[in-house]
Structure 1
């Protein structure tokens, strides 16, 4: 993911490919998109996905600091809320598409 201005991902194309492999476990345990607004999305994963989701959040926060992440747990699911400031809507859309497509 890359963009001009303050919404720029610091990863090289090679690092993006490596990250996708690292994030594979979280993607495989993705259940559904609970909510999607232009600047906020809520994704649901299996309960067992918590460690993989937290690893995803840690790694993604290092290269794309404009994303806001909140991980929550309930009896059956790991829930990831992702937000972006104004202007970052297209970056959120790209990130959501990595899980939903």
Structure 2
């Protein structure tokens, strides 16, 4: 069963918990939050002895929203010892949501590096996580496949979210392993997309991005190998969340 935390109660309830947590930033008006709520409730019941589900109303707790660099709802973090070990944005599929709970649960047995405790936007090396066993998911990508520091991952997700929110027209699975994103825009949107996808390829080398442009539209084709197809579901979920917010 989930419980609510606020700006005032976070440190006491989550900062140094005896039990790891999955923390969801939600909004009462958010359709995607309602969409994943039954899955989160089921996972909370399944992991009840190992992981606590906590919720933060993003509209009522600006300090936590700023601290965790939350730009859209739902955004979820796996926390252990008061520190982030994984995160994801949007109405993600069940396997990715399950991976968050597994990440929080397994971290207690593998240990984390002690750090400053100032949250996921901290640039300190001590905020990095060491992990064995089950792979972490941060955003869309299994942790063993991504070289981007944990502290930088929320900012990267926010960049994609900003691009999707401002320009996305359509999300479409063309075939297994291939996702097509249609964006409205010209040279500026194309340049942003090329820069962002180039940096994403640097830290997650399995991605294949192909970008093309007509007069007022930019196409981003995202290809992944068969064993990474769940990543496309994660990208699609974040893109659809951004698209729904514009409607």
- The TM-score normalised by the length of structure 2 is 0.37
Residue number in structure 2 paired with 1:17: 154
- The one-character-per-residue Cα deviations of 1:43-73 (angstroms, maximum 9, x if unpaired) are 0011232122112211111111101110011
Distance 1:66 1:4 in 2: 13
Q: How does 1:62-101 map to 2 (within 5 A)?
A: 62-101=202-241
Is the 1:25–1:52 contact (alpha carbons within 8 Å) kept by the matching residues of 2?
no
- The one-character-per-residue Cα deviations of 1:16-54 (angstroms, maximum 9, x if unpaired) are 111123334422211111334331011001123212211
Report how many residues are paired.
99
Larger Rg: 1 or 2?
2
Which of 27, 51, 59 is the matching residue for 2:164?
A: 27
Consecutive unaligned residues of structure 2, counting only runs of 5 or more, are 1-137, 242-247
User: How far apart are residue 96 of structure 1 and its match?
Assistant: 2.3
Is the 1:42–1:81 contact (alpha carbons within 8 Å) kept by the matching residues of 2?
yes
Runs of 4+ aligned structure 1 residues displaced above 6 Å come to none
SS of 1:87 mapped into structure 2: helix
Residue number in structure 2 paired with 1:3: 142
Question: Larger relative CO (CA 8 A, sep 6+): 1 or 2?
Answer: 1
Is the 1:46–1:78 contact (alpha carbons within 8 Å) kept by the matching residues of 2?
yes
Q: Do residues 61 (structure 1) and 204 (structure 2) align?
A: no
Distance 2:191 2:236 in 1: 19
Residue number in structure 2 paired with 1:41: 179
Is the 1:35–1:42 contact (alpha carbons within 8 Å) kept by the matching residues of 2?
yes
Change (3 A) 1:93 1:84: same
Distance 2:211 2:194 in 1: 7
CA RMSD of aligned residues (A): 2.0
Consecutive unaligned residues of structure 1, counting only runs of 5 or more, are none
